[in-house]
Amino acid sequence: MPIYKAPVDDAMFLLNDVFQISRYNNLPGFADVTPDLIGAVLGEAAKLVEEVMQPLNRSGDEEGCTRHDDGSVTTPKGFREAYQQYAEGGWMGISAPAEFGGQGLPETVTTVVNEFMAAANMALTMYPFLTQGAIAAIITHGSAEQKAAYLPKMIEGRWTGTMNLTEPHCGTDLGLLRTKAVKQADGTYKITGTKIFISAGEHDLSENIVHLVLARIEGAPAGIRGTTLFIVPKFLPNADGTPGARNAVTCGSIEEKMGIHGNATCVMNYDGATGFLIAEENRGINAMFTMMNEARLAVGVQGLALSEVAYQNAAAYAKERLQGRALTGPKFPDKPADPIIVHPDVRRMLMAARAFNEGARALVIWTALQGDVEHRSPDEKARQAAADHMGLLTPVIKGVLTDQGFASAVMAQQVYGGSGYISEQGMEQFVRDARITMIYEGTNGIQAMDLVGRKLARDGGRALQAFFNEVQGFIKENGDDAMKPYVAPLGTALGHLQQATMWLMQNALTKPENAGAAATDYMHLFGLTAIGYMWCRMARAAQAKLATGTDERMSAKLITGRFFMGRMLPETAAHLARIQSGAASMMELPAEAF
C-alpha cells in the first residue's frame, strides 16, 4: 500500500525562514498567524490526510463512482465519512471571510493544506476544491442575497459547488457555447443545454450542489462576449435556507476515464433548469475567470502534490528493494544485494523529483503570499504589484508544475521496475491521476499562450520587468562564494529567458505564429528560471540556519539545490534554441500532409 507523510517541516521552512510570513502581519487575518498557529493548523491537516484520506486513495480508484438509473451517483466507500470529517474540521473555509463562517486565515495556508490533501487523495479532494472555487466566484460576483443564501452553507461544507463550462463541441473555445438561458417574468432564467466533463457534477457527499453554469441569454451577441454566468442549484433554496424543490438539472452519465476514478466526471443535462444571474449579463467569462485563476493555481498544486506522494513512495521502495551492487563495491555485503538507492540512475530519478517538489512548493507559497497581498493589502501599489505577479505566474504554475509533476510521477513509477506497472502498488494510479492536471482548467498549451500572448506584454511588460528586477537584484546581492554555485547558473538561466523575451519582441509582433510556436518552451524556460530563483532563496535561508549549528535537513537542501542547478536548470538552453528556431518548420506542412 502506498504511503504519504505531509511535508509539514518543509512548508514551515518556506513560510517562516524563506518567505518570513511574519513580515506580512499588517495584512488582515495575518496578525495572529504565528509559526505556532501555522504549525498547529498544518499538523491537524497532516493528521486528517494521513489517517483518513490517504487510506481511501487506492480503494477509491478501484471502486470508482457509480451512477444509478435515477441519475444519482454514489462515491466510493468511505468518501462520505472522510468528506464529513473534512467539513466538520472547518477546512472548506479556513481562508473564507469570518462573516460567512470562515476562519479568515491567509489563502497561503489553504494552499499548503490543499497540497497535502491532493497528495493524499486527489479524487476525493476535488469535491471540496471545486467548492472553494465556486465560493470565490460568489464572494467576488454574487449579490448580497446570493452571498447570504449560498456562502454559509458552502463554507460549512454542507453544500458543494461545480464549474460548468465545457460542451461537446466547445472546450477551449467557449465562444462557441450553446447552452441557452431564457429570462422569466420573475427575473430568473430557464437554462437548457448539455455540459460535459463536469467534475463532481453529481455525488452523495453534500445536501445540495451549487452549479455555476456558463450559458448564452437569448438574443445575446455571438462569441465569448455573449456568455453569462448563472447559479443553478440542484435543489432550489427555500426561504429559510434549506434545500427545497429539485431543479431540472441531472447527471446523464459519468465518463469512463484514465484516472481520478473516485471523482464523478459527469455529463450534466440542463432541461429548463432555474438559474440565477450572477455578475452582469454577457460578462460571464470575466466572472468565470475568478474561478478559473483560482482553479489553475490549485491544479498546479495538484501536479506538485502527485509528484510529492509518488516521490515519497519511490524513495521508500528504493531504500528497501535489494537488487545489484553499488558500482563502488557492496555497501551491505551481509545482504544478498544492496538497496537500489545505491545506484546513481535510481538517485537521478529520485533527486529530480525531489528537487522539483521542493522548488515548486517554494514557487507556490511565494505566489500564494502574493495572492493574499493582492486581496488584503491596504496599499494599492502593493496590491497592483501582487496582482501583476499572480497574472504572470498563474499560467506558469499551472503549466509547468503539472507537466513536471506528471514527469516526476512517471520517474517515480520507473524506480519500481515491473512492480510500478502493477495496480496494487499504487504508482501507476499516481501517473494516471497526474495526467489530467495537464489537461483540465485549460490545457497546458493554453496556459503557454496565455503567458506569451497576454501576460508578457500586459501594461507594457510591467509584471515581467518586475520579475527580472527582483531576480537580478537577488543575484547582485548574493554574489558571495557560498552562493555562487546557485546564483551563477541562475544568472545563465535568466539570460536565456531575457534572450527569449527579446526574440519574441523582435519576431512575434509581425509574425504571431512565432509566439505560438515558442509558447510552450517559453513557459518552461520561465518556470525553470523561477524555480531556480526559488532554489537560490532556499539556499540562502538554509545557509543562514546552518550558520547557527548543524541541521541535516538544511544540508540536504543545499545538496538538492545543487542538483537542480547542475542537472535541471541547463534545460533552459534547449528551450531557448527551440524558441529561436521559429515557426517555419512547424507551420510549413500543409494540413493534408499530416
Active site residues: 441
Closest approach, Cβ 589 to its own copies, in A, equals: 5
Lay out the site mask for its own copies across 194-233 (x = CB under 8 A, - = otherwise): --xx------------------------------------
- Choose one: 53-61, 108-116, 534-542, 549-557; the region binding its own copies (CB under 8 A): 549-557
Asked if residue 515 binds its own copies (CB under 8 A), the reply is yes
Asked if residue 166 binds its own copies (CB under 8 A), the reply is yes
Tell me the sheet residues that pair with 265: 199
By CB under 8 A, what part of segment 372-411 binds its own copies? 406, 410
Cβ-based nearer residue to its own copies, 239 or 591: 591
Closest approach, Cβ 429 to its own copies, in A, equals: 9
Contacting residue, 248, 337, 466, 546, with its own copies by CB under 8 A = 337
Using CB atoms within 10 Å of the CB of residue 313, give its burial: 0 to 12 exposed, 13 to 18 middle, 19+ buried. buried
By CB under 8 A, what part of segment 176-195 binds its own copies? 176
Asked if residue 519 binds its own copies (CB under 8 A), the reply is yes
By CB under 8 A, what part of segment 43-62 binds its own copies? none
Asked if residue 420 binds its own copies (CB under 8 A), the reply is yes
Lay out the site mask for its own copies across 574-593 (x = CB under 8 A, - = otherwise): x--xx--xxxxxxxxx-xxx
Asked if residue 543 binds its own copies (CB under 8 A), the reply is no
Asked if residue 560 binds its own copies (CB under 8 A), the reply is yes
By CB under 8 A, what part of segment 242-301 binds its own copies? 255-259
Q: Which cell goes with 467? A: 520579475
Q: Which cell goes with 173? A: 473555445
Asked if residue 3 binds its own copies (CB under 8 A), the reply is no
Residues 6+ apart with CB under 8 A from 85: 48, 52
Closest approach, Cβ 529 to its own copies, in A, equals: 15
Contacting residue, 121, 428, 467, 526, with its own copies by CB under 8 A = 428
SS3 182: strand
Asked if residue 309 binds its own copies (CB under 8 A), the reply is no
Closest approach, Cβ 324 to its own copies, in A, equals: 5
- Farthest CA pair distance, the chain: 84
By CB under 8 A, what part of segment 431-450 binds its own copies? 431-432, 435-436, 438-440, 443-445, 448-449
Cβ-based nearer residue to its own copies, 1 or 421: 421
Lay out the site mask for its own copies across 310-329 (x = CB under 8 A, - = otherwise): -----x--xx--xxx--xx-
Cβ-based nearer residue to its own copies, 48 or 528: 528
Contacting residue, 341, 390, 397, 475, with its own copies by CB under 8 A = 341
CA distance 288 to 164: 10
How many residues bind its own copies, per CB under 8 A?
A: 96
Whether 49 and 6 have beta carbons less than 8 Å apart is answered as: yes
CA distance 72 to 74: 7
Contacting residue, 187, 219, 333, 336, with its own copies by CB under 8 A = 336
Whether 342 and 303 have beta carbons less than 8 Å apart is answered as: no
Cβ-based nearer residue to its own copies, 166 or 307: 166
CA distance 251 to 148: 27
In Å, what is the CA distance from 146 to each residue of 39, 95, 151, 210, 290? 35, 19, 8, 11, 17
Whether 8 and 39 have beta carbons less than 8 Å apart is answered as: yes
- Choose one: 108-116, 335-343, 373-381, 388-396; the region binding its own copies (CB under 8 A): 335-343
Contacting residue, 378, 418, 460, 549, with its own copies by CB under 8 A = 418
DSSP 430-469: HHHHHHHHTTSSS-HHHHHHIIIIIITTHHHHHHHHHHHH
Cβ-based nearer residue to its own copies, 70 or 592: 592
Residue at 559: amino acid letter = I
Cβ-based nearer residue to its own copies, 190 or 455: 455
Residues in the chain: 594
- Measured from the Cβ of residue 170, the count of other Cβ atoms closer than 10 Å reads 16
SS3 180: strand
Closest approach, Cβ 309 to its own copies, in A, equals: 14
Closest approach, Cβ 407 to its own copies, in A, equals: 9
Closest approach, Cβ 170 to its own copies, in A, equals: 7
Helices (H), 321-379: 344-376
Long-range (24+ apart) CB contacts under 8 A made by 322-329 are none
Cβ-based nearer residue to its own copies, 31 or 258: 258
Per-position b or e across 383-396, b if 16+ CB within 10 A of its CB: bbbbbbbbbbbbbb
Cβ-based nearer residue to its own copies, 150 or 440: 440
Cβ-based nearer residue to its own copies, 91 or 563: 563
CA distance 189 to 184: 5
CA distance 125 to 52: 12
Closest approach, Cβ 358 to its own copies, in A, equals: 12
- Measured from the Cβ of residue 80, the count of other Cβ atoms closer than 10 Å reads 15
Whether 77 and 123 have beta carbons less than 8 Å apart is answered as: no
Residue at 262: amino acid letter = G
SS3 276: strand
Asked if residue 417 binds its own copies (CB under 8 A), the reply is yes
Cβ-based nearer residue to its own copies, 92 or 576: 576
Closest approach, Cβ 527 to its own copies, in A, equals: 15
Asked if residue 413 binds its own copies (CB under 8 A), the reply is yes
Closest approach, Cβ 454 to its own copies, in A, equals: 13
Whether 275 and 191 have beta carbons less than 8 Å apart is answered as: yes
Using CB atoms within 10 Å of the CB of residue 545, give its burial: 0 to 12 exposed, 13 to 18 middle, 19+ buried. middle
